[in-house]
């Protein structure tokens, strides 16, 4: 019996007390609170980089389609509200390459373009800035309605577009834009919607004369 009591006493002495457990839980909570912003920031950076690289690839593809196909290609930036993210505002969330309606000899409000690639949708929470500081072309190009119904993720969408010509050049310089103003900046919606350039962003620049793209990531 005394041996059994001795074993029970040793087990009780080796166990954690409630206070010790609370201290451990408190330390874990403090460490988690300290590293959580770093983890979320890293995740956001990864998503922004991935979206920026894909955007640059899509624009380069539009240039290639215009030159190789000897055709006029519209690079369309679609603006709409994300219905899967309640409370979000309208933003530029998708890009698509469309054969310009002028190729078919049709003009006017009833003219339709032909979709050349599947739309690229920005990851949730990532948008392309729309003001003159973030994306100068989007503040200059005229808005158009999505007559073709290309964007399926919104009840209604509008777009602004620039054109690639068969020789590889663009019409960006026809909108009072000089070469160093022909860029598009994307980032987190909650930050970029404020209108200022956030610390974490990805910019894609298009040479208005050659159509070649360059990227910048701080």
Q: What total of structural domains would you count in the chain?
A: 1
Per-residue pLDDT, 39: 46
| 5 membership: H or E segment, kind and range | helix 2-14
Global pTM value:
0.79
**Beta bridge mates, 185:** 203
- The domain of 196 spans 2-216
| 34 membership: H or E segment, kind and range | helix 18-68
Pairing of strands 90-99, 114-115: antiparallel
Per-residue pLDDT, 105: 43
Dihedral sign (CA 130, 199, 40, 119): positive
CA 74 – CA 16 distance, rounded (Å): 68
Per-residue pLDDT, 107: 46
Joined together, the tokens standing for residue 182 give: 């022909």
Reading the chain (218 residues) residue by residue, the pLDDT tens digits are 555 455 545 555 555 677 767 766 666 666 555 554 554 556 678 899 999 999 999 999 999 999 999 999 999 999 999 877 666 788 999 999 999 866 544 444 456 889 999 999 999 889 999 999 999 999 999 999 999 999 988 878 999 999 999 999 999 999 989 999 999 999 999 888 888 888 899 999 999 999 999 999 98
CATH code of the domain containing 209: 3.55.40.10
Per-residue pLDDT, 178: 92
Per-residue pLDDT, 106: 44
Cβ–Cβ contacts within 10 Å for residue 200, how many? 16
Per-residue pLDDT, 4: 46
Q: What are the angstrom distances between the C-alpha of 210 and each of 113, 147, 191, 205?
A: 23, 30, 32, 12
């Amino acid at each position: 019996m005394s041996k059994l009591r001795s074993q029970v006493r040793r087990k009780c002495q080796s166990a954690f007390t409630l206070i010790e457990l609370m201290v451990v839980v408190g330390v874990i909570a403090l460490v988690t609170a300290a590293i959580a912003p770093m983890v979320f920031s890293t995740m956001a950076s990864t998503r922004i980089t991935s979206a920026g690289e894909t955007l640059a690839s899509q624009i380069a593809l539009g240039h290639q389609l215009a030159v190789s196909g000897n055709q006029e290609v519209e690079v369309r930036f679609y603006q709409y509200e994300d219905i899967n993210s309640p409370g979000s505002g309208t933003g530029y969330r998708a890009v698509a390459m469309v054969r310009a309606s002028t190729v078919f000899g049709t003009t006017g409000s009833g003219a339709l373009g032909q979709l050349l690639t599947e739309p690229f949708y920005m990851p949730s929470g990532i948008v392309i800035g729309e003001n003159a500081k973030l994306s100068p072309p989007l503040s200059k190009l005229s808005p158009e309605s999505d007559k073709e119904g290309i964007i399926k993720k919104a009840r209604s969408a509008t777009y602004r577009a620039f054109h690639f010509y068969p020789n590889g050049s663009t019409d960006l310089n026809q909108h009072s834009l000089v070469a160093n103003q022909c860029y598009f900046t994307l980032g987190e919606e909650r930050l970029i919607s404020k209108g200022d350039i956030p610390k974490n962003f990805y910019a894609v620049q298009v040479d208005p004369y050659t159509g070649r793209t360059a990227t910048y990531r701080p």
